[in-house]
Amino acid sequence: MARLDHLALIGFGEAGMTFASQWDAPVRAYDIKTDDPATAAAKSDDYARHGATGAATLAEALAGAELVLSVVTADQALLAARAAAGSLAPGALYCDLNSVAPGTKREAARAIEAAGGLYADVAVMAPVHPARLAVPLLVSGPHADAAIAALGAVGFSPTRVEGPVGRASTIKMLRSVMVKGMEALSAECFLAAHEAGVVDEVAASLAKSWPGVDWLAQADYNLERMLVHGRRRAAEMDEVAKTVADLTLDNAMTRACADKQRALGTLGLAAPEGLAAKSELILGKGAKAA
């Protein structure tokens, strides 16, 4: 499973493009944007720029693939697994790297296993850029050892998590309560501080309580991620909310975070450089509710 010509990518967004650009041979890739005439040309350009061989259909991408990496948006993860099941080669290893609830991973696993594939729950525990293939991965499920060997052979450094499908995803989901919750809080905090004209004072106060954090830089980075990837991150937080709810716990904070991420992501704004410029642009668009 180490051969790149036997590897296929489902999804060619940030993660897919980042991974493909690190390999020394083209890999086959398929993205649903290929199906839309409005986005097909741009996606073909993405394939070419990042060293992938774009497939016209999912079946074409998966033909003969021994290792499949699914890196789609959270709201497409289960649909992708069900669609892939019909085209997987017998015994193909399907590594689901998507940020979804453990229950969603288990549903995806049932679809892949019923089709004769081998399913692995893989959790991506940090942004893929700039880490690239060094991004930390957790792997769980009955085929975790096979997944770790295959992923390692193509440049990743995954870590096994003992337990069934869903265990790795649980860790990822509950971590996101904090990570993406802090993003949403920082957006609300610093947009309000900008509107009130007290950004430097708020940042200085926070630095006294949490020394070592550059709050202005962190808030700027968080706004960047939310403006560019807010819709995708909101879809992930919907899955986090499902995870918390499935534990029969209140998920009000997570649902609010999803709303904040979605509100900023759907503004459709390019992210200018600097916290002040981003704040001016967001607030100037009448997006104070964001």
Query: Residue 210's CB: how many other CB atoms inside 10 A?
Result: 10
Is the separation of the CB atoms in 96 and 121 below 8 Å?
yes
Neighbouring-strand partners of residue 68: 8, 94
Per-residue model confidence (pLDDT) at position 288 = 54
Question: What would the two tokens of residue 185 be?
Answer: 């809080």
Strand order in the sheet with 52-54: 52-54, 27-30, 7-10, 67-70, 93-96, 118-124, 137-140, 158-160
**Domain annotation for the chain: domains and CATH numbers:** 4-165 (3.40.50.720), 168-284 (1.10.1040.10)
Give dist(CA 285, CA 146) in Å, integer. Answer: 50
Is the separation of the CB atoms in 237 and 252 below 8 Å?
no
SS3 call for 10: strand
Q: Of 278, 252, 89, nearest to 191 (Cα)?
A: 278
Helices (H), the chain: 14-20, 40-49, 58-62, 77-85, 102-114, 128-131, 144-153, 167-196, 199-209, 215-246, 252-265, 275-284
State CA 288 to chain mean position distance.
27
Cis geometry, peptide bond prior to residue 136 (ω within 30 degrees of 0): no
Question: What would the two tokens of residue 6 be?
Answer: 């036997």
Q: Who's near 209: CB < 8 A, 6+ residues apart?
A: none
User: Largest Cα–Cα distance in the chain?
Assistant: 62
The upper half-sphere exposure of residue 143, i.e. CA atoms within 13 Å in the direction of its Cβ, equals 21
Neighbouring-strand partners of residue 69: 9, 95
Query: Residue 48's CB: how many other CB atoms inside 10 A?
Result: 12
The tens-digit pLDDT sequence of the chain (290 residues) is 456 889 999 999 999 999 999 999 999 999 999 999 999 999 999 999 999 999 999 999 999 999 999 999 999 999 999 999 999 999 999 999 999 999 999 999 999 999 999 999 999 999 998 999 999 999 999 999 999 999 999 999 999 999 999 999 999 999 999 999 999 999 999 999 999 999 999 999 999 999 999 999 999 999 999 999 999 999 999 999 999 999 999 999 999 999 999 999 999 998 899 999 999 999 987 555 45
Q: Which long-range contacts (CB under 8 A, 24 or more apart) does 31-38 make?
A: 32/72, 32/76
